[in-house]
A and B are shown apart, each in its own frame.
Chain A
């Protein structure tokens, strides 16, 4: 196992950020309140589809304490559609219609919660009072709610200038699926559905903006996963230079994808601050969050697998519809993730995949933890289970026969991934992770456990499924490391942090390179005044892309330290070691100089900095991977199902995963625990219910069920470490892997448990709520 060579990378270092968070002193955006701040609230549409015929805001404007009410008519040049954040990949035959929302509705309402007006008042309470006084005259239109009918010829059109609700079409293929099918011993075809859910960060979104007219500068605190790109968009929209605008994403209370998006409030709140000459603060409430923040997951698949009688995959064909909601600002990231991740850790010589993206009158869909990968994994793993059943094979055995071997890397799947690079796997441990999970869950002895479990009336089943996760995509991230005269080390990077432990894992990388304690490294993330190059925290890329930029910068600082110390101590740099915050001569520890003293001498007030060198002990580096690195793993779950009530209890949940070099095992396990919990929610509890008028019927935490501590079992984890070949640290991402295969594992385990009671039962739809399982059981018996 190759490691970065240090003592801190790989260690269970307790987190640097915790003390502030545990004492209530960590600053979240909601906690920012500049003196004189005004408070904003939005008037939003209750209807998902309609035409705004009139908007009477006069009573709201006249309400005491109200400073302004803005409608589309007030926005001037700001009234233009938002940015398309991710362009579609350059694929042959691609159809892509980019449609993005106006900051405030001008005429057409395309989803519930679209903002009609912005009210700015002395307090949020007053702003909401005034919101009640706004009268909107809306002509209701027939909403498009049912994804399966969104592309019908007679479906109401959501964007009048398009001939249908088709937002995009993509086809990717390799080999010759039709020929493979013709020589298959078994062909299985099924329809699958995967329903909508929310990101569910406990912190809602918030934006606080302060325009300083004297300094000619705008400062914005924002709950974003991408402070730098958002800063750039806002500066351009407001006609300011990027250097005039500082975005700060301080502590952010969970991201999970939706906070990577660009939102209208991120322009409107700063714009209002400039216009009113006062700081303006907006905090989303939970109800708004169910509409105004993006969601994920609605897809319908028709998929087919062709296998030999030995269970070898000859090919897969998958045709699906992806629900983009009312607009498609995030391009095709999600359906392409689905299309690519379906292939998983398996050899699939022939593949034919096409998808249509549909506009519907539902909130906008953009990546949420997993970002479409879970759909692909669900379909592939289900197809393998069904094929195994059809061939009389054990589900583990059919997987053994198809996983890519350790000697087959790099493995090229010959289609294009979301980063516009070919879908190639750099390294992995597919056989090992499967066998380790099988061993940990006791798969071989499981039939005996099943017998033991029967007396209490419940039936027990096991599921073992594989996944891969494309992680750590480009384009790049950067980092600047500075040794300060006090001896502390400062690290600034452009990625924001939403709980991933960056203040610790990034510090570990630095600590190894220059011989300090991780607690000596002060990490600054998500502040554009500290670092203004970068893209953001998404796609499980922080530890990979920012991590390796930090590693590179730390190595450069190390070189500088050694050069300065060699001069100060009059020795050869080769004879020096860096430890305990000092450079010292090997074998003569008394001959040493502190990093702080070196930092001071490297930035002198008199004398000269050597020509051709830079002052200080500081370095800035960037890292961009050639393409994304692929993590992998296997989940094994044991469930007990009550055949009477259809209640499912998870008895054991095991995750064997491989994210390359592990920087901090404790943090990695935390990511996995949280991912699995989110996966359990998606697979079993979380469902957005839309009524016939297209309204969400369960827009509260009372009715939309996030899993609680009594729903998530203890999770057993095992780490494999196959280093990535695409970066010096060997890291791969781990942020989403926990969430991706849960539904597939669940489905296999529940079917296994019910194998005797309902042998023909097939789980093809997610979420698998107890109600849905109950219906399935009734249908099967």
Chain B
């Protein structure tokens, strides 16, 4: 089936097998291997990407379902271009906050958490710790015990608030 969509701001069109999962499509057809697959049944959240800005599980969708939509993956968060070396300074505020709060260890679940957290903070720019815990509770992490993930998201909220609405990254997509 032929599909056309926008992926991380660029147009993509081509033929895909109807049964191809969105997660497999992004990883093997588009080469965006930052989206990880942990369970393939929609529980662990590692494969979370954004569809028109809303977090979705890429393992529970078919690639053909993105026809006419905009997909954002973890590779679309930082300002750096693909292939360009990434420094901490160029990270998105949510990425940077997770780094500063030690909110990742093996980092396998991290891309999914980032995609959920970024969308969550757009909806709720000043969340409580409880609300953050609720918001990331759809993601399994075996390394961190979640404590520093929650702290990282809280730090990101503070940073984004301090930067003001003018600094909303939606503007530079």
Contacts and interface: CB of A to CB of B under 8 A. Distances in A.
Contact of B107 (A251, A283, A669): A251
Interface string B130-155: 00011011111111111111100000
Interface stretch (A446-454, A563-571, A703-711, A749-757): A703-711
Contact of B106 (A20, A33, A252, A666): A252
Contacts of A678: 142
Nearest to B32: A24
B108 A203 contact: yes
A18 B107 contact: yes
Interface in A685-714: 700-702, 706, 708-710, 712, 714
A24 B46 contact: no
A378 B119 CA distance: 42
Nearest to B114: A22
Interface string B75-96: 1011010000011100100010
B2 interface: no
B37 interface: yes
A709 B114 CA distance: 15
B146 A202 contact: no
B142 A254 contact: yes
Contacts of A715: 145, 147
Contacts of B125: none
A22 B102 contact: no
B107 A23 contact: no
Interface in A16-59: 17-28, 30-31, 33
Given A18-B107, A24-B35, A26-B107, A200 B114 contact: no
Interface stretch (A322-330, A496-504, A543-551): A496-504
Given A709-B133, A709-B146, A499 B140 contact: no
A23 B32 contact: no
B88 A253 contact: no
Contacts of B107: 17-18, 21-22, 26, 251, 253, 499
A124 B37 CA distance: 14
Nearest to A738: B145
Contact of A23 (B19, B34, B39, B146): B34
A155 B52 CA distance: 59
A125 B86 contact: no
B34 A677 contact: no
Interface in A299-318: none
A203 B38 contact: yes
The interface residues of chain A, by DSSP majority, are classed as loop
Contacts of B65: none
B110 interface: yes
A526 to B, nearest CB: 13
A9 B28 CA distance: 41
B33 to A, nearest CB: 4
Interface residues of A, number: 59
A285 B102 contact: no
B99 A19 contact: yes
Contacts of B143: 254, 499, 670, 674
A256 interface: yes
A31 B74 CA distance: 14
Contacts of B95: 22-23
Given A673-B147, A715-B145, A23 B80 contact: yes
A443 interface: no
Contact of A285 (B40, B80, B105, B150): B40
A253 B41 contact: no
Contacts of A21: 104, 107, 110
Contacts of B138: 708
B57 interface: no
Nearest to A203: B108
A352 B45 CA distance: 47
A286 interface: yes
Contacts of A15: 99, 102
B172 to A, nearest CB: 16
A498 B109 CA distance: 13
A677 B146 contact: yes
A442 interface: no
A247 to B, nearest CB: 19
B106 A701 contact: no
A81 interface: no
Nearest to A497: B106
A364 interface: no
Contacts of A706: 140, 142
A28 B74 CA distance: 15
B108 A202 contact: yes
A654 interface: no
Contacts of B106: 201-203, 251-255, 498-499
Interface string A763-774: 000000000000
Contacts of B144: 670, 673-674, 677
Contacts of B141: 202, 709
Contact of A701 (B17, B100, B105, B140): B140
A615 interface: no
A251 B105 CA distance: 11
A322 B91 CA distance: 49
A19 B139 contact: no
A667 interface: yes
Given A23-B80, A24-B75, A714-B147, A286 B142 contact: no
Interface string A406-440: 00000000000000000000000000000000000
Interface string A272-294: 00000000000101100000000
B102 A670 contact: yes
Contacts of A20: 86
A669 B144 CA distance: 9
Nearest to A198: B142
A714 B133 CA distance: 11
B61 interface: no
A714 B146 CA distance: 8
Given A21-B104, A23-B34, A286 B98 contact: no
A204 B104 contact: no
B136 to A, nearest CB: 5
B147 A702 contact: no
A19 B88 contact: yes
Contacts of B114: 22
A604 interface: no
Contact of B41 (A19, A677, A702): A702
A667 B149 contact: no
Contacts of B27: 30-31
B51 interface: no
Contacts of B28: 33
Given A22-B98, A672-B145, A676-B145, 16 more contacts: A15-B99, A22-B99, A23-B80, A23-B95, A24-B75, A28-B36, A201-B106, A202-B140, A202-B142, A254-B142, A286-B38, A286-B40, A286-B41, A669-B102, A670-B105, A708-B140
22 contacts: A23-B34, A24-B32, A24-B35, A30-B37, A200-B142, A202-B44, A203-B38, A204-B38, A252-B106, A253-B36, A254-B108, A255-B106, A286-B41, A499-B106, A670-B144, A673-B144, A673-B146, A678-B142, A701-B43, A708-B139, A710-B134, A738-B145
Q: Which 4 A-B pairs rank lowest in CB-CB distance, beginning with the nearest?
A: A24-B34, A499-B106, A253-B108, A21-B107
Interface of B: 17, 19-20, 24, 27-28, 32-41, 43-44, 46, 73-75, 77-78, 80, 86-88, 91, 95, 98-100, 102, 104-111, 114, 133-134, 136-150
